[in-house]
Amino acid sequence: MYFYLFIVLALCIDQATKIAIRANVALGEKKELWGFIRLTHLENTGSSGNMLHGQGRLLAILILTLAGIALYLKSRGRFRGTLTQVGVALFIGGGIGNALDRILYNQVTDFLYFADAATMNFADIWVFLAFVCIVASQFKPLFKPNAAGLEDKRHT
């Protein structure tokens, strides 16, 4: 249940912020929010770093296919553990968020300005956090105490 809630929340936050930016910040305009969040309205017709420039709809098909595969695998119980499931849900929500932009506009609205070469949106952040969660979930078993190892220490 929470898996699907994460997808919906990620998608809603992404789309709501993009709508707000498109409505309130002119293309290329820079603004500051609360003195520390820098915003600018950019349109990216490619992927990260504007790779695959002009291929927005092709990228949307690829991302929607990957999201569909992830949902299928989820229905088959292939994603176990909280971190993995949160990561996959954020990947799907973020991926669909940018795919919607690519389908509707053939470009993605970016607005969170970190540097000249690093402007992104919440979908990008969700996909990055998805990667972090999924990678972290792979290391988690390394830090679990080994039940057999604990028993051996108690009996010696």
Question: What is the distance between the alpha carbons of residues 130 and 49, in angstroms, rounded to a whole number?
Answer: 19
Q: Is 152 a catalytic residue?
A: no
Question: What is the distance between the alpha carbons of residues 113 and 48, in angstroms, rounded to a whole number?
Answer: 14
State the SS3 of the chain: CHHHHHHHHHHHHHHHHHHHHHHHCCECCEEEECCCEEEEEEEECCCHHHCCCCCHHHHHHHHHHHHHHHHHHHHCCCCCCHHHHHHHHHHHHHHHHHHHHHHHHCCEEEEEEEECCEEECHHHHHHHHHHHHHHHHHHHHHHCCCHHHHHHHHCC
Q: Is 124 a catalytic residue?
A: yes
* CA–centroid distance for 88 within its chain: 9
Q: Which of 14, 116, 124, 152 is catalytic?
A: 124
Q: Which of 14, 110, 116, 152 is catalytic?
A: 110
Residues recognised as catalytic: 110, 124
